Structure 1
Amino acid sequence: MATRTGQDGLSRDRIVEAAIAMLDDGGENALTFRALSTRLKTGAGAIYWHVANKEELLAAATQAVLADVLRGDEGDTTPRDAVRAIALGMFDAIDHHPWIGGQLGGLASRSASMRIIERIGQQVQALGMPQEHQFFATSTLFSFILGVAGQNAANARARVGGRGRAELLGAEAAIWASLDPAEFPFLRSAAGQMGDHDDREQFLVGIDLILSGIGSAR
């Protein structure tokens, strides 16, 4: 669909692109129409001609960064692989744009949330889950994706003082390894995995466990 352009060359797509950059840099609080107009070197009135309010702008920005996930072209993919692809698409999108995790849980982006839930729900149906359990299975997958992806993004941005992921996980693993084996047998045994694991792989293991449960419930 074509986007209309004002006399100053400003378009809705350009506004959304600038808003995404601001959200990536400073989160939702950094996005104001005053700051956006300064960034675009235009007046707030010109922006309002394209976007009614901040809620509409946040929804448009969320849908833009999730365009591939929302497209819904499954092709010959199996339902299980389709769910994994949707989950990974959302994981990567939230990793790059942490602010969308909060948007997907709110009314501002209800359209994007509904489309994602619909895509997941159709695959849950295709997996043969009994109808009375389809809503619970779908909402469990959606909640797991948002929760784990959001936490991963938050952890990535909480690393301060020049300490990278490997250093932080290594320090945490060392603490686990030093725990009392009688009180914390599991944490000690998992210390090696904690210090050297892939976040996306760990995320997919969780998705696969839920999918296995869905398969068992057929």
Structure 2
Amino acid sequence: MPPRTRRSDALSRDRIVEAAVELLDTAGEAGLTFRTLTERLATGAGAIYWHVANKGELLDAATDGVIAAALAAGSPGSPREEIRAVALGLFDAIERHPWLGTQLALQLARTPWGSVTARIFEGIGRQVRALGVPAGHLFTTTSALVSYIFGAAGQNAANTAGVPAGADRAEFLDAVSTAWEELDPDEYPFTRAVAAEVRGHDDREQFLAGLDLVLAGITAVHLSRAK
């Protein structure tokens, strides 16, 4: 048998959070228990409780860790480029971790003073201020961006989860498009008109296009006020 990992290494808080994220990704929130966590880490529950008091704290720590990694996806560039990079990092994180959207919504509403909310607003708000948005409008503008990012990313994750297991995405979208095209033309003229655009669309490109619309609006409003 290979030598056992030293207890101090195996039971660091970071390792516990990493294992929790792995369990959440594969089994969802219901599958994350201290029993499953002790089995994965090959240790006793008491040792884990030394680092994490309860499941709520564990979920908070897992969310914070994933968000911290996602926000690090930004790259040096203009404020607009930085916002796009951060937003796409968050979009990809929510898509990769199906549990994340729910936890973000809970933490933003339940503990807005927590580290997750602060990380998000700091990561995006700095760039909003760098765009030239004046004081007095920073919170509202940053909130609008955060709402778009999580709303669109969460809806995309829900759409992805809604595709039947084993189904081909292109075939699924084609079925949606066909159903829209067959709607009553008098009652649904717009939906029928855009039905063809559903086929083969790229979710990430659509997300970024929407983000660009929001950023264009922010720039237009605040640059016009500055003149």
Give the TM-score, by structure 1 length. Answer: 0.88
Return 5+ residue gaps in structure 2 as ranges. Answer: 1-5, 223-227
Instruction: Give the C-alpha shift of residue 69 in structure 1.
Output: 3.0
Instruction: Give the C-alpha shift of residue 203 in structure 1.
Output: 0.6
Instruction: Give the C-alpha shift of residue 108 in structure 1.
Output: 6.3
Q: Does 1:22 align with 2:23?
A: yes
In 1, distance between residues paired with 2:159 and 2:17?
26
2:207 paired residue among 200, 203, 207: 203
Instruction: Give the C-alpha shift of residue 26 in structure 1.
Output: 2.1
Q: Does 1:111 align with 2:119?
A: no
8 Å Cα contact 1:173/1:191 also seen in 2: yes
Q: 1:16 to 1:203 in 2, by over 3 A?
A: same
Q: 1:181 to 1:67 in 2, by over 3 A?
A: same
Q: 1:187 to 1:72 in 2, by over 3 A?
A: closer
Farther-moved stretch of structure 1 (156-165 vs 103-112):
103-112
Structure 1 residues 169-217: Cα deviation after superposition (integer angstroms, max 9, x where no partner): 1101001112233332221221111112000011111111110110111
Instruction: Give the C-alpha shift of residue 158 in structure 1.
Output: 2.2
Q: 1:186 to 1:62 in 2, by over 3 A?
A: same
Q: Does 1:53 align with 2:54?
A: yes
2:189 paired residue among 166, 185, 188: 185
Instruction: Give the C-alpha shift of residue 8 in structure 1.
Output: 8.1
1:176 paired residue among 168, 176, 180: 180
Which residue pairs with 2:150 in the alignment? 146
8 Å Cα contact 1:91/1:149 also seen in 2: yes
In 2, distance between residues paired with 1:40 and 1:125?
44
8 Å Cα contact 1:176/1:191 also seen in 2: yes
Identity %: 55
Return 5+ residue gaps in structure 1 as ranges. Answer: none
Q: 1:108 to 1:99 in 2, by over 3 A?
A: farther
Q: 1:174 to 1:11 in 2, by over 3 A?
A: same
CA RMSD of aligned residues (A): 2.1
Instruction: Give the C-alpha shift of residue 7 in structure 1.
Output: 5.4
- What is the identity, as a one-letter code, of the residue corresponding to 1:100? L
Moved over 4 A (4+): none
Q: 1:108 to 1:13 in 2, by over 3 A?
A: farther
Select the structure with the greater relative contact order (CA < 8 A; seq sep ≥ 6).
1
Instruction: Give the C-alpha shift of residue 72 in structure 1.
Output: 8.0
- Counterpart of 1:27 in 2: which secondary structure? helix
- Counterpart of 1:179 in 2: which secondary structure? coil
Give the TM-score, by structure 2 length. Answer: 0.85
8 Å Cα contact 1:95/1:153 also seen in 2: yes
8 Å Cα contact 2:18/2:62 also seen in 1: yes
1:88-99 maps to which residues of 2 (within 5 A)? 88-99=88-99
